[in-house]
């Protein structure tokens, strides 16, 4: 099952990077929950519409944003972790920033039901049940 879950997350991230929203939604549960773990007081995001609201809020700060060097690994139980380099260019400043981010996804019934977004790969690895 873990390899199937890894493939579901891999396909969904590929669709996200290509901005193929219909393919992305195929991998997301209708009631998906998003937890942006590093933002204290972050809004609660639940469902497809909320996923796109979360993305819109992220993109408001950046002229461009891309994920590079994506590595997808099986975690404990139904969890899958995606480790990647996030590269953004500031809107207005044109300053390019890089950081090592991660997503911990819970997969159930062939769909991603939860995404935890992390600015700290070590913390994400711990939460996914992987060695640091």
Tell me the CATH number of domain 2-127, given options 3.40.640.10, 3.30.230.70, 1.10.287.3510, 3.10.450.50: 3.10.450.50
Spell out the domain ranges in the chain.
2-127
Chain mean position to CA 92: 25
pLDDT tens track, the chain, 132 positions: 689 999 999 999 999 999 999 999 999 999 999 998 777 767 789 999 999 999 998 888 899 999 999 999 999 999 999 999 999 999 999 999 999 999 999 999 999 999 999 999 999 999 999 998
Chain centroid, CA 74 distance in Å: 15
pTM recorded for the entire structure: 0.92
């Amino acid at each position: 099952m873990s390899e199937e879950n890894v493939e579901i997350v891999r396909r969904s991230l590929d669709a996200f990077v290509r901005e193929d929203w219909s393919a992305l939604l195929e991998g997301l549960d209708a009631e998906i929950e998003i937890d942006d773990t590093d933002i204290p007081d972050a809004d609660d995001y639940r469902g497809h519409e909320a996923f796109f609201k979360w993305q819109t809020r992220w993109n408001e700060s950046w002229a461009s944003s891309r994920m590079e060097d994506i590595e997808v690994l099986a975690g404990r139980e139904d969890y899958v972790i995606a480790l990647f380099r996030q590269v953004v260019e500031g809107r207005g400043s044109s300053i390019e920033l890089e950081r090592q981010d991660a997503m911990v996804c819970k997969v159930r019934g062939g769909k991603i039901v939860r995404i935890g977004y992390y600015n700290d790969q070590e913390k994400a690895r711990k939460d996914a049940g992987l060695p640091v």
